Structure 1
Amino acid sequence: MKICIFGAGAIGGYLAEGLSRVEGVDLSIVARGKHLAAIREKGLRLLIGDEERVCRPRATDDPSTLGPQDFVIVCLKAHQAWEAAEQMKPLLSAHTAVVTGQNGVPWWYAHGLDGRFSEARFPSVDPDGRQWRVIGPERAIGCVVYPATEIIELGVIKHGYGDKFALGEPDGTRSLRCERLANALIAAGFDAPVLDDIRSEIWLKLWGNLCFNPISALTRATLDVVAAEPGTRALSIAMMTEAKKIAELFGASFRVDIERRVNGAARVGAHRTSMLQDLEHGRPLEIDALLTSVQEMGRFAGVETPYIDAVLGLVQQLGRSLGLYPAISRKAVAHPVEAPRLRAAG
């Protein structure tokens, strides 16, 4: 089984170390720059608990040297995955599956939905339909990533917590390709359930990310504060209420209620969200996949989102002012509705 991990950063590197130990897996990774150079020189190093593990997978910045794969696991952020779509072409054959490990709304989300919702496209995560066209939604396998990992130096990944990678076909079938990948991940030591409703799993994680991440970036507050302080808690609940209406129209359901989801976040403790960490380290902010895409879905479905709109406008301006929100051209979402307008109190 040929598996290529496209983007051997914190999550990709963690996956690579595990899969490198599985018999029958022909593993390669695509990385770049000094990180790639460090992996080639000293191997890919994973710090997990009190243990250091080192692997030496085939590593390149040129996918054309690898040939077609059985699975391409994309571990880039959403805007990076869009930029890299054309580079993935040499890895694709008629049977290749592409696993989307990004946070937020995936570019293939509308594939296979009923009625007019199947026509929805989300320029915030797939401008001009590049991934839809180059990769093709029929190749997509959804993946919700739960582990917390970070790059602590070039070529070195530190594992914080978690080992779950939930998988699922957009059409809800339990396919042979999903089973094969899940078995490989389980053999690598990961928890890899195959779900019959991957969209609901995507939304369960996104539900918190779409409010906690931007609010933490705007306030510099940790997750426990955002979820417990009355003002930010109320704002989070308002945003989640808007998002729930949208998600249900787009085929998702929720196995927990809003209060339980927010309380669970509060119990995590003084965690710095990924967007807050990116802000502090001067990295591009992952705004569009987590928030702009939800706004686009609301426009398509005719759901007003005044709280999401307000927070999105603020965090976009924060990103622009710091040069951390790159502008990319976007076409209008199909069948847009007029944006709701906020009314001033009194």
Structure 2
Amino acid sequence: MKICVIGGGGAIGGYLAVKLARAGNQVTVVARGKTLEAIQKNGLTLHMEGESKPLVAKVNAVEKITDVDSPDVVMLAIKAHQVEPIIDDLAKIIGPNTVLIPMQNGIPWWYFQRLSGQYQDHPVETVDTGGLIMKKIDPRNILGCVVYPATYTESPGVIRHVEGNRFPIGELDGSVSERAKGISQMMTDAGFKSPILEDIRGEIWLKLWGNMTFNPISALTHEHLEGICQYPLTKDLARNMMAEAQVIAEKLGVVFRVDIDRRIAGAEKVGKHKTSMLQDLEAGHSLEIDALLGSVIELGQITNTPTPCLSTVFALTKLLNTKVQSSHGRLCLPLAA
């Protein structure tokens, strides 16, 4: 297939691009700056967990989305707040049969699209102000996806895989379509686990349960997943945040297939892994707090659900992000000697 990975030089995008290219697909990545230069010169390098030799893939690398020629599949591997600035260019390469796979964490802009019920086509303002993205992208092009692997960018064009290979997918209307079967097979052939789910939104909430809690808590405390889960006070905070979110999700018809304690235990098993938000904080990047937590609070307001713990952590993390961005700095606690 002809695949375009927007954000292909990033941690998840690079991981996907290398594996898909090595499986025989024609892969083009959209990247910028030193990352673009590195990919054009050396290709993409992926260090897999437990393997001594890196995987290297030569892929086509471009700076402009509009330089991508008629892709069959577009994987949108960028953060939620990065989608709106590129939406006009993205819309230009989406043809009638193009499959767009958004891979953002949190509540996606398309959450209420192709969803029957009282909230059908309701915009999620936190991640899509004024419904701009909804207006530009036909929801029939979209195939939902939840990203589970943990990866990070070691240097421009070099990705390191920590753990996981699951990318569950699902149609927005809950059907099991032929195109979903094709994408699932494509992902399987590349070495991923990509089951087709009839309730992709339920899977989004299961992943979000962890992201909306552990990400901001880790940014505020500079602690890894294992530490947060083993310290009683932060573990209790995570549990209370999850409980508030569960009430919201259940009002929207979501059924969780695991309970809160099992979800926390799963995060603890990941070990001493820094969340993506903590990595962004230490690098001075903007934090993905609106998509991960602000959107949940918005859905709480829509469903008339109180969110005291969620709102408190959101306020603290927003202020932290504001301070880092306004100072053009970065925060990283030094290791003890």
The reply to whether TM is greater than 0.5 is: yes
What RMSD, in angstroms, separates the aligned Cα atoms of the two structures? 1.7
Cα distance between partner residues in 2 of 1:254 and 1:162: 21
* Superposed displacement of residue 32, structure 1: 1.3
Match of 1:158 in 2: 160
Tell me how far apart the structure 2 counterparts of residues 252 and 143 of structure 1 sit (CA, whole Å).
16
**Map 1:134-213 → 2, pairs under 5 A:** 134-213=136-215
Summarize the Cα distance change of 1:109–1:219 in structure 2 as closer, same or farther, 3 Å threshold: same
Instruction: Tell me the distance in 2 between the aligned counterparts of 1:20 and 1:226.
Output: 37
Residue of structure 2 equivalent to 1:244: 246
2:19 alignment counterpart? 18
- Using the TM superposition, give the Cα deviation of residue 38 of structure 1 relative to its aligned residue in structure 2, in angstroms: 0.8
User: Could you tell me how far 1:228 is from its partner in structure 2?
Assistant: 2.6
1:325: how far off? 11
- Aligned pairs for 1:1-346 (under 5 A) are 1-8=1-8, 9-23=10-24, 25-48=25-48, 49-323=51-325
Q: CA deviation at 1:140?
A: 1.2
- 1:289-338 deviation per Cα after TM superposition (whole angstroms, max 9, x unaligned): 10000000011111111111111111101111111799xxxxxxxxxxxx
CA distance in 2, matches of 1:119, 1:186: 32
SS in 2 for 1:165: coil
CA deviation after TM superposition for structure 1 residue 174, in Å = 0.7
Judge which range, 14-23 or 100-109, deviates more.
Answer: 14-23
In structure 2, what is the equivalent of residue 332 of structure 1? Answer: none
Compare 263-272 and 217-226 and name the one that shifted more.
263-272
TM-score (norm 1): 0.90
Question: Aligned-pair distance for 1:240?
Answer: 0.6
| Contact 1:284–1:325, Cα closer than 8 Å, also in 2 | no
Once the two structures are TM-superposed, the CA of residue 119 in structure 1 deviates from its matched residue by 4.0
Contiguous gaps of at least 5 residues in structure 2: 329-337
Paired residue secondary structure (2:297): helix
Work out the CA distance in 1 between the residues paired with 2:140 and 2:303.
24
Any idea what SS the aligned residue of 1:51 has? coil
What SS does the corresponding residue of 1:217 show, helix, strand or coil?
helix
Provide closer, same or farther for how the CA distance between residues 271 and 54 of structure 1 changes in structure 2, counting only shifts above 3 A. closer
Can you list the C-alpha shifts for 1:259-316, whole angstroms capped at 9, x where unaligned?
2212222233222221112111211111011000000001111111111111111110
**Aligned residues with identical type, % of pairs:** 44
**Which sits farther off after the overlay, 313-322 or 218-227?**
218-227
Q: Label 1:46 to 1:264 Cα distance change in 2 as closer, same or farther (>3 A).
A: closer
Deviation at 1:36, TM superposition (A): 0.6
1:340 maps to what in 2? none
How many correspondences in the alignment? 325
Deviates more, 1:302-311 or 1:111-120: 111-120
State the alpha-carbon separation in 2 of the partners of residues 229 and 261 from structure 1: 16
Letter in 1 for 2:314: L
Q: CA deviation at 1:164?
A: 1.1
Deviations 1:77-98 (A, max 9, x none): 1111222211212311111121
1:248 Cα offset (Å): 1.4
Native 8 Å contact 1:199 1:251 kept in 2: no
Hey, what's the Cα distance between the residues in 2 that align with 1:266 and 1:16? 29
Change beyond 3 A, Cα 1:47–1:308: same
| Deviations 1:210-231 (CA, angstroms, capped at 9, x unpaired) | 1111111112222122223221
Most deviating of 192-201 and 290-299? 192-201
